[in-house]
Structure 1
Amino acid sequence: MIRSGAMKYEDKPIWFNVYKAFPPKVNPTFTRKAPENQQVVNILYPEDLVRAKYYAVYGSKKSQEVVDLTEKETPTQCQRFVDKYFELKRSGRVSDEDLFRQAANYMRTQGFKLESEVEKKEQKELHNMAQEMFPS
């Protein structure tokens, strides 16, 4: 588009200079076939597994925490949980379940409200039972 004059050189896309400095080894074309038997490298880190379990247990749909993405210095509640988990893991040999429970208990003592999906469901059922027993 620049060569044809449809676009001015000053209006070039942001990636243009990168592409010019680091051209691909093989020119990208629509008809080129994807390589077969290419394995995808597993890039899961240990903290990813803890983070996944955290969200599976405590959920993220109705999280009370609002995350300010512009604030990079303040860790999220989940990141604090992960940090505490690995701090506890370094301190001794404990099962993953116990580490998870200990990290959750620590977070609760620090004022964070952690309530598993099961606990939320039980609380809702108790509330409904109380409503039925004592209608207002």
Structure 2
Amino acid sequence: MAGSRLEKVGTIYSRTTGLIRSGAINWADRPLWYDVYEAFPPKEEPRFDRPAPNMTLKKIFYEEDKLRAMFHRNNKHLGSSNMFNNKYKSLTQKFIEAYRKLESENPEYTEEGLYKRAIEMLRRDKEVDNRSEEEVISLSEAFREATGNRSKEKPQIDLSTIFKE
């Protein structure tokens, strides 16, 4: 049973239950979802051959999704952002705020004009951020120089003294 990886043999729940019953998996080592699945089983068994439900999906686009798409389409070189760090705003959030601010101040501008001006605002802000980053770099270099003499010295170790009886 454990050698099979086909979803057609059974559901993941039935395969995991089989592994637990056979002793291949200890009860203490069961997956986190196993207890939740047992407490709240689905109405219909999740099998591969079950037909998809005939439902209409809701469109869940927000107003700023269009701005995000436009920003990321034109700026593909952007790196990833840390979603768990709420201390700093992402570049996309800063762009949307700048765009909204310009839009409220100048409603006569076109989308393209607002986009260009928002990008210019971000670049100006980034120059200010880069200056503070340069200060941090220069401080770290000064610290490295101050402690550099100690880190460059290599300790003198004699292996014969270590292995003496």
TM-score by length of 1: 0.62
RMSD: 2.6
- Aligned AA (2:76): S
Q: Which runs of 4+ in 1 moved over 6 A?
A: none
- Aligned AA (1:99): L
Amino-acid identity (%): 31
Paired positions, count: 108
Aligned residue for 2:21, secondary structure, equals coil
Task: Supply the distance in 1 between the matched residues of 2:58 and 2:82 (Cα, whole angstroms).
Answer: 31
Aligned residue for 1:41, secondary structure, equals coil
Matches within 5 A, 1:95-110: 95-110=110-125
Aligned residue for 2:126, secondary structure, equals coil
Structure-1 residue corresponding to 2:59: 42
Task: String of CA shifts for 1:17-51, please: whole Å, max 9, x gaps.
Answer: 22223221111123211123x22322222222111
Segments of structure 2 that go 5 or more residues without pairing to the other structure are: 1-18, 128-165
**Larger RCO (alpha carbons 8 Å, 6+ apart):** 1
Task: Supply the distance in 2 between the matched residues of 1:16 and 1:66 (Cα, whole angstroms).
Answer: 33
- Aligned AA (2:97): D
Segments of structure 1 that go 5 or more residues without pairing to the other structure are: 113-136
Task: String of CA shifts for 1:72-119, please: whole Å, max 9, x gaps.
Answer: 32122222111222233345634433332332232233235xxxxxxx
Distance 1:11 1:80, change over 3 A: same
Distance 1:31 1:69, change over 3 A: closer
The structure in which a higher percent of residues are helix is 2
| Range with greater deviation from structure 2 (75-84 or 103-112) | 103-112
Aligned residue for 1:24, secondary structure, equals coil
